[in-house]
Structure formats: structure tokens, C-alpha cells
Amino acid sequence: MSTTETTKQRELLTFKLSDQEYALDIMTVREIRGWTRATPMPLAPSFMPGVINLRGTVLPIMDLAERLGLPKCDQDDRSVIVVVQNEGSTIGLLVDAVSDIVTLDPKDMQTPPESAVQNGRNVIAAITLLDNRMIRVLDLPYVIALPESDAA
């Protein structure tokens, strides 16, 4: 059983943030939509520009670049919101552009360096090279979890 799991290919959605490429497991992606101006929420962390109405549901939006310590995403007509779901939570991730869907073998993914670890966790689950492009696969549960200091 574990042999099958380790050889099972993964489909990833790749996207751009600040001229860098990142990816998420396609199974966490619910939809991809164009930019919609978010309504700001008081006392929200700076990487949470607000909420939008998604077919009658209030959807929080996270500026993924700012969350990862990169320059903020431009919030314009070229921006994209990737709606993801993880453990019952749904959130929109603001990214610069969606690239494509790729299929990779787990053996093609490498463990990120220890220097990228924060609080015992790493926002990067794996790194892979694809057509001379370095793609960072995000650890979605860790990325979308609000920092403890913001929860108080």
C-alpha cells in the first residue's frame, strides 16, 4: 500500500507570485476566478485585504505574496483569486497569475532546505524543477493558518 502511495503522481496548479513560481495540490483548488475588489475588515492582518461575496457566501481573501513575505500582489484586473479548501475552511488566495496544471512523480519533488523553517514548520512542502523552472509546492494548511499572535 505504501509503495502505491509513494509512486502516485500528483497534479499541481502552478501560479506566479512576485516573478516566482509556486504550486498547490489541485485537489485543494475549488475554482479560479478573476479579481474582485475585497471589502476590508477591521483589525484584520495586513495580508488579509478583506472579504468578497462568492455566490452568497462571504469568502475571506488572503494576499498570498504578502503572507509569504514577498511584495504585495497588485490588486488589479490581471490578478487572480484561487479559491481553495482545506479541512472545511474555504479561502481565496490572491495571486499574480495562474500558469498551468502539471503532473509530477513524488520522486521529482525534493525536501526544502532547513533554513526555510519557521516555528518548526515550513510553508514550502517540496521543491521541484520543471523545464528549468524552480517551483515551490506550498504546505497549504500552514500557509492559511493565521499566526498565533493574530488570533488574540
User: Each residue of 31-45: pLDDT tens digit?
Assistant: 999 988 899 999 999
Q: Say whether pLDDT at 149 is over 50.
A: no
- Length of the chain equals 152
What pLDDT does 146 receive? 62
The whole-chain average pLDDT of the chain stands at 86
Q: Which residue has the higher pLDDT, 22 or 150?
A: 22
- Are 94 and 79 within 8 A, CB to CB? yes
What pLDDT does 145 receive? 83
What pLDDT does 119 receive? 57
The cell for 33 is 476566478
The cell for 134 is 524552480
From residue 45, alpha-carbon distances to 6, 10, 90, 112, 148 in Å are 37, 32, 17, 27, 12
**Backbone phi and psi for residue 23, each to the nearest 5 degrees, phi listed first:** -150, 155
Question: Using H for helix, E for strand and C for coil, what is the string for 23-73?
Answer: EEEHHHEEEEEECCCCECCCCCCCCCCEEEEECCEEEEEEEHHHHCCCCCC
From residue 84, alpha-carbon distances to 2, 34, 49, 123 in Å are 27, 14, 17, 16
Please report which confidence band the pLDDT of residue 75 belongs to, taking 50, 70 and 90 as the band edges: confident
What pLDDT does 115 receive? 60
The per-residue pLDDT for range 80-125, each reduced to its tens digit, is: 999 999 988 899 999 999 999 999 988 889 888 776 555 556 889 9
- Contacts of 3-9 with C-beta under 8 Å, sequence gap 24+, read 6/106, 7/105, 7/106, 8/106, 9/103, 9/104, 9/105, 9/106
What pLDDT does 3 receive? 45
